[in-house]
Homo-oligomer: A and B are copies of this chain.
Amino acid sequence: MTDFITWCDYLGTFAFAISGIRLASAKQFDWFGAYVVGIVTAVGGGTIRDVLLNATPFWMEQPSYFIITGLALIFVIIFRKHLIHLNNTFFIFDAIGLGLFVIVGVVKTLDYGFPMWVAIVMGTITGSFGGMMRDILINEEPLIFRKDVYALACVAGGLIYCGCLTLGLPLSLSQFVSALSILVIRVVSVKYHIGVPVLKGEE
């Protein structure tokens, strides 16, 4: 079980890093700059969460996130002409990672003694602020607030976890169900082009 979670974590980190590195390459960043954008995308959300919780940032405890981002950079350098054919694979990895990251964020926040609504906020920050920081670094308006259901899928996952606990489901089942829900919401929203409505501007 722990192994399964670790692998999902690695896949998600890889997919998040790839998304940062690809967008950085489109902006002519150098290799090192692309690496930084990749690592910020992968660990940025969890870092903000940990700073707000006053916890030691999770990536300072073991170097695997830096290693995986390095592998992602090498992957992009070698396979850059073929990346576009892997878009669906990356999308699934990204959605798996998102589901895991959000629920990890929710659980950690509850462990720190905060109420459920703070945990849902923290889960959403964990899942979506890495992508937001990526877009700030490459000087674009954050994509996650203008496309598909992304940040809202994080909120939904947190609410579903809350619902599972209220129903008395065991912890690990609740976590699995809510992470899976996020994955399903992502897949369905992208497949059927379901988005949050755009906020209409003033005349």
A33's contact among B37, B73, B151, by CB below 8 Å, is which?
A: B151
| Stretch from A9-17, A141-149, A167-175 forming part of the interface with B | A141-149
Q: Is there contact, CB below 8 Å, between B83 and A28?
A: no
Chain B residue nearest to A37 (CB atoms) is B145
Q: A142, B146: Cβ atoms under 8 Å?
A: no
Residue A66 at the chain B interface, CB threshold 8 Å: yes
- Is A3 at the interface (CB under 8 A from chain B)? no
Give CA–CA (A139, B138) in the complex, Å: 10
Identify the stretch in A50-58, A97-105, A157-165, A180-188 within 8 Å (CB) of chain B at 4 or more residues: A50-58
Q: Enumerate 10 A-B pairs (CB-CB under 8 Å) in ascending A order.
A: A21-B199, A22-B202, A25-B200, A26-B202, A28-B199, A29-B198, A31-B196, A31-B198, A63-B117, A137-B142
